[in-house]
C-alpha cells in the first residue's frame, strides 16, 4: 500500500459534519496509488466515533480505531504504529493543511527522505499573539535542541513505515500508553519526535505547505506554550541521560 493517512480525532463532531472527511475522500479516491485513511478516535465524548464509523461504512478505504483518551500525541502514535502504508501521514481533522499537500511530500520520499514535515509560511489567519509566541518557541527549540527546521509544529508530517516504527516506539515523554484529561494539544510531541529522528540519523526533509488558521477551543496560546517549554526541557534532560541513545 502506497499511503496511509492517520487522522486523530477528539470531539470532532462539527468538523465531520462540515465535511472534513469528505474532503479527504474526494482527494484520495482520485489517486492512482493504493491508500487507507485511519480515523483514530481519542476517547471523544461527543458523536465523533458514531459519525466516523458511519462515514467509514459508506466510504471505501476508511476505518476507525477507537482509543482511550490520551491526547493528540498518544492518539497519533497509536495510528502511526497501526498504519500499513509504505508512507504514513498524520494530518489534522480540520484540514488546516489540506490533504492535497501530500503531493509536495511524495517527491521528497522518492529522493530518499525518511521523514517529511510540512512548513508553514506566514501562518495565514493566525492571531498576532500566536505568531509572536511561535517565533519565541523557534528561538528556544533551536537553542536547546538544535533542531534545524523552520517549522516543527505543523500537524502535517509523514514517515516511511520503517521510520515511523523506529521513531514512535522510542518516544519517552509521549507514548501510546499515556492518559490525559480534557483536550491536550501536546506541543512537545513534535519536538521529541523530530529529536529522535535526528538521533537515529534519518533523512528529514521540509516541504512548504498551504496552511490556514482554524480557530479551536483546544489551543490555548499561553498554556500550550508553557507546556511546550516544559516538554522541550524534558527532551533535553532525557537526551543528557542517554535515554534516546541507539
**How confident is the model over 187-218, as pLDDT tens digits?**
789 999 999 999 999 999 999 999 987 655 55
Give the predicted TM-score (pTM) of the model. Answer: 0.86
Domain assignment present for 160: yes
* Arithmetic mean of pLDDT, 77-101: 97
High-pLDDT (> 90) share of the chain, %: 64
Domain assignment present for 96: yes
**How confident is the model over 149-186, as pLDDT tens digits?**
888 889 999 999 999 999 999 999 877 565 555 555 56
Domain total in the chain: 1
Domain residues for the domain of 229 are 3-240
For the CA atoms of 170, 168, 203, 144, what is the dihedral angle to 10 degrees? -60
Domain assignment present for 246: no
What pLDDT shows up at residue 239?
84
Domain assignment present for 33: yes
Domain assignment present for 122: yes
Domain assignment present for 136: yes
Domain assignment present for 130: yes
Q: Which residues contact 103 (CB under 8 A, 6 or more apart)?
A: none
Contact 8, 33 (CB under 8 A): no
What pLDDT shows up at residue 153?
87
CATH number at residue 66: 3.90.550.10
Domain assignment present for 180: yes
Burial 33-68 (b: 16+ CB within 10 A, else e): eebbbbbbbbbbeeebbebbbebbeebebbebbebe
Contact 210, 101 (CB under 8 A): yes
pLDDT band at 83 (very low <50, low <70, confident <90, very high): very high
CA 182 distance to own-chain centroid: 18
Amino acid at each position: 500500500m502506497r499511503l496511509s493517512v492517520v487522522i486523530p480525532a477528539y470531539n470532532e463532531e462539527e468538523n465531520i459534519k462540515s465535511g472534513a472527511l469528505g474532503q479527504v475522500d474526494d482527494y484520495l479516491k482520485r489517486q492512482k496509488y493504493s491508500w487507507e485513511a485511519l480515523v483514530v478516535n481519542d476517547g471523544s465524548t461527543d458523536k465523533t466515533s458514531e459519525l466516523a464509523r458511519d462515514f467509514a461504512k459508506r466510504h471505501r478505504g476508511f476505518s476507525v480505531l477507537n482509543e482511550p483518551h490520551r491526547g493528540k500525541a498518544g492518539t497519533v502514535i497509536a495510528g502511526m504504529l497501526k498504519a500499513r502504508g509504505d508512507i504514513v501521514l498524520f494530518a489534522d481533522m480540520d484540514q488546516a493543511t489540506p490533504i492535497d499537500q501530500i503531493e509536495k511530500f511524495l517527491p521528497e520520499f522518492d529522493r530518499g527522505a525518511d521523514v517529511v514535515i510540512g512548513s508553514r509560511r506566514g501562518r495565514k489567519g493566525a492571531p498576532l499573539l500566536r505568531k509572536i509566541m511561535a517565533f519565541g518557541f523557534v528561538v528556544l527549540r533551536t537553542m536547546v535542541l538544535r533542531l534545524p527546521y523552520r517549522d516543527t509544529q505543523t500537524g502535517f508530517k509523514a514517515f516511511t513505515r520503517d521510520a515511523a516504527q523506529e521513531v514512535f516506539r522510542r518516544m519517552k515523554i509521549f507514548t501510546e500508553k499515556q492518559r490525559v484529561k480534557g483536550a491536550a494539544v501536546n506541543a512537545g510531541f513534535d519536538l521529541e519526535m523530530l529529536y529522535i529522528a535526528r538521533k537515529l540519523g534519518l533523512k528529514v526533509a521540509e516541504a512548504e505547505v498551504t496552511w490556514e488558521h482554524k480557530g479551536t477551543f483546544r489551543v490555548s496560546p499561553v498554556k500550550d506554550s508553557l507546556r511546550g517549554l516544559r516538554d522541550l526541557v524534558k527532551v533535553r534532560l532525557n537526551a543528557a541521560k542517554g535515554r534516546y541513545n541507539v
